[in-house]
Amino acid sequence: MFRTEETSQEERNKTIIRSFIKEVFNEHNLLSIDKYFGKDSMEGSPQAGKGGESFRQFLTDFLEAFPDWRANIEHLVAENNLVVVFLYGSGTHKGEFHEILPTNKPVNIRSADLYKIEHEIITGHWDVVDQLNLLKQTGGLLSEDVTKEFKDAKVVWMHDYE
Protein backbone atom coordinates (compact mmCIF):
# COMPACT_ATOMS: atom_id res chain seq x y z
CA MET A 1 0.00 0.00 0.00
CA PHE A 2 1.32 3.44 -0.96
CA ARG A 3 1.12 6.39 1.37
CA THR A 4 -0.27 9.53 -0.17
CA GLU A 5 0.28 11.85 2.77
CA GLU A 6 3.05 12.37 5.24
CA THR A 7 2.15 12.05 8.87
CA SER A 8 1.95 15.14 10.99
CA GLN A 9 5.03 13.85 12.86
CA GLU A 10 7.03 13.72 9.63
CA GLU A 11 5.95 17.26 8.80
CA ARG A 12 6.98 18.43 12.30
CA ASN A 13 10.37 16.74 11.86
CA LYS A 14 10.91 18.49 8.53
CA THR A 15 9.97 21.80 10.16
CA ILE A 16 12.55 21.15 12.91
CA ILE A 17 15.29 20.58 10.33
CA ARG A 18 14.29 23.63 8.28
CA SER A 19 14.42 25.76 11.43
CA PHE A 20 17.74 24.21 12.50
CA ILE A 21 19.35 24.97 9.12
CA LYS A 22 17.99 28.52 9.13
CA GLU A 23 19.15 29.32 12.68
CA VAL A 24 22.49 27.52 12.68
CA PHE A 25 23.81 27.53 9.11
CA ASN A 26 22.25 30.75 7.82
CA GLU A 27 21.89 32.96 10.89
CA HIS A 28 25.01 31.45 12.54
CA ASN A 29 23.25 31.22 15.91
CA LEU A 30 25.40 28.43 17.35
CA LEU A 31 23.86 28.76 20.82
CA SER A 32 20.63 27.41 19.36
CA ILE A 33 22.33 24.03 18.76
CA ASP A 34 21.42 23.13 22.36
CA LYS A 35 17.76 23.63 21.47
CA TYR A 36 17.99 21.03 18.70
CA PHE A 37 20.57 18.44 19.82
CA GLY A 38 20.27 16.12 22.79
CA LYS A 39 23.26 15.85 25.15
CA ASP A 40 23.89 12.26 24.08
CA SER A 41 23.05 12.66 20.42
CA MET A 42 25.08 10.55 18.03
CA GLU A 43 27.20 12.62 15.66
CA GLY A 44 28.32 10.50 12.72
CA SER A 45 30.43 13.17 11.07
CA PRO A 46 34.10 12.50 11.83
CA GLN A 47 34.81 16.25 11.82
CA ALA A 48 32.24 17.02 14.49
CA GLY A 49 32.66 14.36 17.17
CA LYS A 50 29.76 13.37 19.46
CA GLY A 51 26.92 15.54 20.67
CA GLY A 52 25.96 19.17 20.26
CA GLU A 53 29.07 20.66 21.88
CA SER A 54 31.43 18.99 19.42
CA PHE A 55 29.19 20.04 16.55
CA ARG A 56 29.22 23.62 17.84
CA GLN A 57 33.04 23.66 17.99
CA PHE A 58 33.29 22.29 14.45
CA LEU A 59 30.87 24.93 13.16
CA THR A 60 32.62 27.71 15.10
CA ASP A 61 35.86 26.91 13.29
CA PHE A 62 34.08 26.46 9.96
CA LEU A 63 32.18 29.76 10.20
CA GLU A 64 35.36 31.62 11.15
CA ALA A 65 36.83 30.43 7.87
CA PHE A 66 33.61 31.09 5.89
CA PRO A 67 31.83 33.93 7.76
CA ASP A 68 29.20 34.57 5.09
CA TRP A 69 28.22 30.87 4.80
CA ARG A 70 24.67 30.12 3.68
CA ALA A 71 22.98 26.77 3.10
CA ASN A 72 20.06 26.24 0.76
CA ILE A 73 17.81 23.21 1.00
CA GLU A 74 17.63 21.39 -2.32
CA HIS A 75 15.64 18.35 -1.13
CA LEU A 76 14.00 17.47 2.16
CA VAL A 77 12.43 14.04 2.76
CA ALA A 78 11.04 12.52 5.96
CA GLU A 79 10.03 9.00 6.87
CA ASN A 80 9.03 8.05 10.39
CA ASN A 81 11.68 9.66 12.68
CA LEU A 82 14.31 10.18 9.95
CA VAL A 83 14.85 13.30 7.84
CA VAL A 84 17.20 13.52 4.87
CA VAL A 85 18.22 16.93 3.58
CA PHE A 86 20.37 17.75 0.57
CA LEU A 87 22.12 21.09 1.03
CA TYR A 88 23.94 23.44 -1.30
CA GLY A 89 26.20 25.69 0.75
CA SER A 90 28.24 28.68 -0.31
CA GLY A 91 30.47 31.30 1.25
CA THR A 92 33.77 33.13 0.96
CA HIS A 93 37.05 31.70 2.26
CA LYS A 94 38.07 34.56 4.58
CA GLY A 95 39.75 32.68 7.45
CA GLU A 96 42.17 29.81 7.95
CA PHE A 97 40.61 26.43 7.23
CA HIS A 98 42.47 23.21 8.09
CA GLU A 99 45.76 25.13 7.93
CA ILE A 100 44.84 26.61 4.53
CA LEU A 101 45.26 30.37 4.56
CA PRO A 102 42.34 32.53 3.38
CA THR A 103 41.97 32.87 -0.39
CA ASN A 104 39.03 35.31 -0.36
CA LYS A 105 37.51 33.12 -3.08
CA PRO A 106 33.89 32.08 -3.19
CA VAL A 107 33.34 28.38 -2.52
CA ASN A 108 30.40 26.04 -2.65
CA ILE A 109 29.77 22.47 -1.57
CA ARG A 110 26.94 20.01 -1.43
CA SER A 111 26.07 17.66 1.39
CA ALA A 112 23.53 14.99 2.23
CA ASP A 113 22.54 14.89 5.89
CA LEU A 114 20.48 12.30 7.73
CA TYR A 115 18.89 13.33 11.03
CA LYS A 116 17.20 11.07 13.55
CA ILE A 117 14.60 12.91 15.61
CA GLU A 118 12.98 11.65 18.80
CA HIS A 119 10.58 13.75 20.89
CA GLU A 120 11.42 16.77 18.70
CA ILE A 121 15.17 16.54 19.51
CA ILE A 122 17.92 15.54 17.08
CA THR A 123 19.35 12.34 18.52
CA GLY A 124 21.48 11.36 15.55
CA HIS A 125 23.21 13.05 12.62
CA TRP A 126 25.22 11.57 9.76
CA ASP A 127 26.45 13.36 6.67
CA VAL A 128 28.31 13.03 3.42
CA VAL A 129 30.07 16.25 2.39
CA ASP A 130 31.92 16.97 -0.84
CA GLN A 131 35.15 17.86 0.97
CA LEU A 132 37.36 17.12 -2.03
CA ASN A 133 35.62 19.87 -3.98
CA LEU A 134 36.05 22.26 -1.04
CA LEU A 135 39.78 21.47 -0.85
CA LYS A 136 40.13 22.13 -4.58
CA GLN A 137 38.39 25.50 -4.26
CA THR A 138 40.50 26.62 -1.28
CA GLY A 139 43.79 25.51 -2.81
CA GLY A 140 44.17 22.60 -0.39
CA LEU A 141 45.03 20.38 -3.34
CA LEU A 142 48.01 21.27 -5.46
CA SER A 143 46.50 20.05 -8.72
CA GLU A 144 43.24 18.97 -10.26
CA ASP A 145 44.71 15.48 -10.68
CA VAL A 146 43.81 13.70 -7.45
CA THR A 147 45.80 10.63 -8.52
CA LYS A 148 48.92 12.82 -8.69
CA GLU A 149 48.16 14.18 -5.21
CA PHE A 150 48.06 10.65 -3.79
CA LYS A 151 51.24 9.64 -5.63
CA ASP A 152 53.03 12.73 -4.29
CA ALA A 153 51.80 11.95 -0.76
CA LYS A 154 53.03 8.37 -1.06
CA VAL A 155 56.46 9.52 -2.20
CA VAL A 156 56.74 11.92 0.76
CA TRP A 157 55.55 9.26 3.18
CA MET A 158 57.97 6.65 1.82
CA HIS A 159 60.84 9.15 1.93
CA ASP A 160 60.08 10.07 5.54
CA TYR A 161 60.11 6.47 6.75
CA GLU A 162 62.92 4.87 4.75
- The domain limits of the chain are 8-161
Instruction: Answer positive or negative: Cα dihedral of 60, 130, 90, 137.
Output: positive
Q: Name the helix (H) or strand (E) containing 149.
A: helix 146-161
**Maximum CA extent, the chain:** 64
At 62 the pLDDT is 94
Which regions of 5-148 does DSSP assign to beta strands (E)? 37-43, 70-79, 82-92, 106-118, 121-129
At 27 the pLDDT is 97
- pLDDT tens, N- to C-terminus, the chain (162 residues): 455 455 799 999 999 999 999 999 999 999 999 899 877 777 666 555 556 677 788 899 999 999 999 999 999 999 999 999 999 999 999 999 888 999 999 999 999 999 999 999 999 888 889 888 888 899 887 655 656 555 555 444 443 444
At 106 the pLDDT is 96
Strands 37-43 and 121-129: parallel
- Closest by Cα among 90, 24, 34 to 60: 24
At 56 the pLDDT is 85
Q: Rounded to whole angstroms, how far apart are CA atoms 150 and 15?
A: 42
Q: Rounded to whole angstroms, how far apart are CA atoms 113 and 37?
A: 15
At 98 the pLDDT is 84
> Which residues, other chains included, contact 44 with Cβ-Cβ below 8 Å and sequence gap of 6+?
114, 124, 125, 126, 127
Q: Are 33 and 22 in contact (CB under 8 A)?
A: no
At 108 the pLDDT is 96
| 116-144 b/e (C-beta count within 10 Å ≥ 16 → b) | bbeeeebebbebebeeeebbebbebbeee
> Which residues, other chains included, contact 50 with Cβ-Cβ below 8 Å and sequence gap of 6+?
41, 42, 43
Please state which CATH class domain 8-161 belongs to.
alpha beta
This prediction's pTM:
0.79
